[in-house]
Structure 1
Amino acid sequence: MNHQITTSWNEVRATFQKIWRYEDFRPPQGEIISCLLAQKDALILMPTGGGKSICFQLPALLQTGLTLVVSPLVALMENQVQELLQHHQKAALLHSELPSSQRRATLQALERQQLRLLYLSPETLLSAPVWERLSQPKLQINALILDEAHCLVQWGETFRPAYRRLGAVRPALLKSKPSGTKISLAAFTATADPLAQTTIKTVLQLQQPEIFRLNPYRPNLHPSIRIAWTPRGRKQQLLKFIQNRPQQAGLIYVRTRRDSENLAAWLAEMGYATASYHAGLGAAERRAVEASWLSDKIPFVVCTCAFGMGINKSNVRWIIHFHAPHLLSEYVQEIGRAGRDGKPAEALTLVSEPTGWLDPEDKQRQQFFEEKMRSQQQTAQQLIKKLPKQGEVNAVTRQFPDGATALALLHSSGQLNWLDPFHYSIEQKTKNQPTTQLQAGKQMHQYLTTKQCRWQFLLNAFGFDKEAANWRCGHCDNCC
């Protein structure tokens, strides 16, 4: 049995003040903490910079036993664990880039029940050595936290298919624990539209979750969209924007690794101190770029969507999307990295002219994305004919190179169930839904071309219709 904690609220607040040195919780932090201490399931939507991590770290530190935090990026885990260790808390992380000695030490600490918080990626959670230890009957697990839960929706069908298997984790762990054990599940994100919220609840099998939703509106953040008539014009607009904001901290988002490297090289030629950042860099290079930017050695970074999640820098004055992202949720995540100090910040997106005659790049990017989604769908439908009705993930991935992605897509379309995180069974019924990604791509296009208040559009898109009625922010390009 889990020891139901009987901590008084005064103790909760005292621990919070002692560790984080804040006077009191910001709403709804207190309510979320109470909910997790009562071991209820929850879905939490809070804007970037809203203090999400404290909401699950504090309950974990107040309980005996372990809380697992599933997190998408190494940088994100490292930042949070470093902070906890500075506060002398029992936290650790596991990921594939760790030196083996550190990995061994963490696995030993896990076996000896010396940890309160363990951060890992979905892939690490489902790796044999880790899973084996987590399934030990003696190991007390209180909660499973999914941080940045929108990644399940954005990446789960494509390049991080392990996300689609997370719903099978709790039932499988409970089978190995003493009867009467409870493990609560909570998902945290800054951006999930109503469709994404449903996907998260369904995939994770949340049980009567309490839902906390704060709308994403930030009064100090000024979004605008500008047309760049030619590829050269796009670069000139970027240059002019940066020249007018000397020494201000910012981020330039591009689509691909190659774009990131080429644009950073061009800006360096123009005399700017900058760096390229993408998932293809080694861990040490990524840390070096982050450190230079955080310490203001370089004012801005040219990056892909791999940069910025969980990196806390309060004085970012601008975000430029040199290329628009595919998904509105990515866009809101990324612009949310600006102006966390509450002072005015700008979010500019550059787009090709609508016909695509002078600069077809944006159209080609969108088509490439849609084609890729469709071909992955087709691969999945061809694979289902060759698979045994019940089988094991690793066997499928050994035999078929795109097996993991195909299984995730089949799960998404309701053609496959997970019996546990490692075994599937194929369902007879087929539901051919279009992938959520394709629907979400259309929404992004509507946002870029809308004439209404940008914030009103975003509030509607994220399901805050009441707040959006008769809304004018007065500070986006359409309002001005």
Structure 2
Amino acid sequence: MNDLAADWNQVRATFKKIWGYEDFRPPQGEIIQTLLNAKDALIVMPTGGGKSICFQLPALLKSGLTLVISPLVALMENQVQELQQLNLSAALLHNEIPRSQRKKTLQALEKQQLKLLYLSPETLLSTPIWERLSHPQVKINGIILDEAHCLVNWGDTFRPVYRRLGTVRPALLQSKPPGTKIAIAAFTATANPQAQGIITEVLQLQTPETFLISPYRNNLNLRVKITVSPGCRRHQLLKFIQSQGKQAGLVYVRSRKDSENLSEWLRTLNYSTAAYHAGLSSSERRYIETGWLNDDLQFVVCTSAFGMGINKSNVRWVIHFQAPQLLSEYLQEVGRGGRDGKSTEALTLMSEPTGWLDPTDQQQWRFFANKLAKQYQQAQQIANKIPAQGEIQTIAEALAAGDISLGLLHSLGQVEWLDPFQYQLKFKNSSALNQSKNNSQQTQFEMKRYLNTKRCRWQFLLNAFGFIEEATGFKCGHCDNCR
């Protein structure tokens, strides 16, 4: 098939043959056409909107390989498993897969037998994988950044390799035949205008086609409830779960400890549940995911590591035992409920605002704020110690959290990447540091404002994510404030 002018009837026929649908849902068709035409794109589309098909179908129709950069092993495994069950040429690479499977995937990569290769940002920039992908004979047609909000949420303070992804395309093109085109598309369910700007800038998107779909879901009923003590919080959680009968749900917490303690307590009350967090082994995580997908577990008590890209349509309720730090995380997590379009309850518990009776939430906010301030301070100290130019890996090994500090300095405009593996200091700017601190604090305050707002909750969210026109005079009629 011609890469630039794919016959649209054949595109639809392939879509129907593989996935069984008659036609695309708007704006799937336009996104697919954009990717077939090798244009850069930024796509913000609600959870359950059919994002994966938008990049999987073009990848299957084009010649060469599409790289899908994905944040979580579970997310990669679910998507690749679904594609392989359809007999499609997709594979994944991460550091937990068996050696034999890794060898088989690398051989398929070298023989150009793959259409889709899923890998994390860290795996992409690991030496053995990078060397193979940089080989002139390996044809790469596109790079997809799935769950692109992770670049914004994690790139500065948790997984700094996200900050270097903009250097991948120019570095790969240097090793490819002249005239090679590699398009980049970023997909996410949540990105406010500021986040959209960061994604575009960091990935070095070139005049991207932008698709912004409203996050509003009229089947998600949003509620916030105040608790006056830790005991009261548990009581409200239990009362809510009891009200949902045997229906499938999710309980979100902010720490591994809370995940384990709550699930243990709820199991003593004869609930079929499990704790899920990033500290579990790969096999443990797969076991819990499968149990939940098959309804052997009614709900999972989980951190933000759970649910991204996991497709379960009949989730009837989502409860936040504690609110997340970021509004984008909140919208991601409530969005995992009601993917079948049926009515779904989303409840968030919060300490009473003064913090006198229950200081839990205020302690949590303070902990994260102090941690962030410490990371900024550390970044500035490292800027005074390191050479003006050098290898990122050398700094990461020589200094504690050196790679995170470089990522932070990049976000402040004080560092530029010469390629995916080398940095160069530009200048030191303390006002940029203060501005960035203020921006981070504002982002946290946004979540607090949402919890305490007296207006329509969906109107608040629409405004926060840049859908100002739609938000004007909006009343959803089914959040706690509207009702």
Q: TM-score range by the shorter chain?
A: over 0.9
Mapped to 1, the partners of 2:416 and 2:441 lie a distance apart of 23
How far is the alpha carbon of 1:278 from its aligned partner?
A: 0.3
Mapped to 2, the partners of 1:449 and 1:209 lie a distance apart of 36
Query: How big is each residue's C-alpha offset from its partner over 1:69-90, in whole Å with a ceiling of 9 and x where there is no partner?
Result: 0000011101110111111111
The equivalent residue for 1:459 is 462
Deviates more, 1:265-274 or 1:370-379: 265-274
How far is the alpha carbon of 1:7 from its aligned partner?
A: 2.2
Query: How big is each residue's C-alpha offset from its partner over 1:115-135, in whole Å with a ceiling of 9 and x where there is no partner?
Result: 000000000000000000010
Partners of 2:227 and 2:351 within 8 A in 1: yes
The equivalent residue for 1:412 is 411
Partners of 1:154 and 1:437 within 8 A in 2: no
The equivalent residue for 2:277 is 278
What is the aligned-residue RMSD (CA, Å)?
1.0
Deviates more, 1:265-274 or 1:35-44: 265-274
How far is the alpha carbon of 1:280 from its aligned partner?
A: 0.3
Mapped to 2, the partners of 1:318 and 1:6 lie a distance apart of 44
How far is the alpha carbon of 1:429 from its aligned partner?
A: 5.4
The equivalent residue for 1:302 is 301
The equivalent residue for 1:311 is 310
Matched length: 479
Pair 1:449-2:464 in alignment: no
SS in 1 for 2:95: coil
SS in 2 for 1:371: helix
The equivalent residue for 1:149 is 148
Which residue identity is paired with 2:448? H
Partners of 2:42 and 2:186 within 8 A in 1: yes
Partners of 2:273 and 2:297 within 8 A in 1: yes
The equivalent residue for 2:137 is 138
The equivalent residue for 2:425 is 426
Deviates more, 1:22-31 or 1:424-433: 424-433
Mapped to 1, the partners of 2:319 and 2:3 lie a distance apart of 48
The equivalent residue for 2:330 is 331
Identical pairs, percent: 65
Query: How big is each residue's C-alpha offset from its partner over 1:230-273, in whole Å with a ceiling of 9 and x where there is no partner?
Result: 10000001111111111110000000000000010111112211
Mapped to 2, the partners of 1:77 and 1:269 lie a distance apart of 33
Which residue identity is paired with 1:453? C
Q: Which runs of 5+ in 2 are unaligned?
A: none
The equivalent residue for 2:232 is 233
The equivalent residue for 1:380 is 379
| Counterpart mapping for 1:30-179 below 5 A | 30-179=29-178
Mapped to 2, the partners of 1:4 and 1:189 lie a distance apart of 25
Partners of 2:249 and 2:317 within 8 A in 1: yes
Mapped to 1, the partners of 2:323 and 2:46 lie a distance apart of 20
TM-score between the two structures when normalised by the length of structure 2: 0.98
Mapped to 2, the partners of 1:110 and 1:310 lie a distance apart of 25
Partners of 1:234 and 1:350 within 8 A in 2: yes
Query: How big is each residue's C-alpha offset from its partner over 1:112-164, in whole Å with a ceiling of 9 and x where there is no partner?
Result: 10100000000000000000001001111000000000000001111111100
Partners of 2:4 and 2:38 within 8 A in 1: no
Pair 1:476-2:474 in alignment: no
Which residue identity is paired with 2:88? Q
The equivalent residue for 1:12 is 11
Mapped to 1, the partners of 2:189 and 2:391 lie a distance apart of 34
Partners of 1:142 and 1:184 within 8 A in 2: yes
Which residue identity is paired with 2:116? L
How far is the alpha carbon of 1:321 from its aligned partner?
A: 0.1
Q: Which runs of 5+ in 1 are unaligned?
A: none
The equivalent residue for 2:253 is 254
Partners of 1:47 and 1:191 within 8 A in 2: yes
Given the superposition, is the C-alpha separation of residues 278 and 200 from structure 1 closer, same or farther in structure 2, using an over 3 Å criterion? same
Which residue identity is paired with 1:80? Q
How far is the alpha carbon of 1:180 from its aligned partner?
A: 1.3
SS in 1 for 2:436: coil
Query: How big is each residue's C-alpha offset from its partner over 1:287-316, in whole Å with a ceiling of 9 and x where there is no partner?
Result: 111111111111111000000000011000
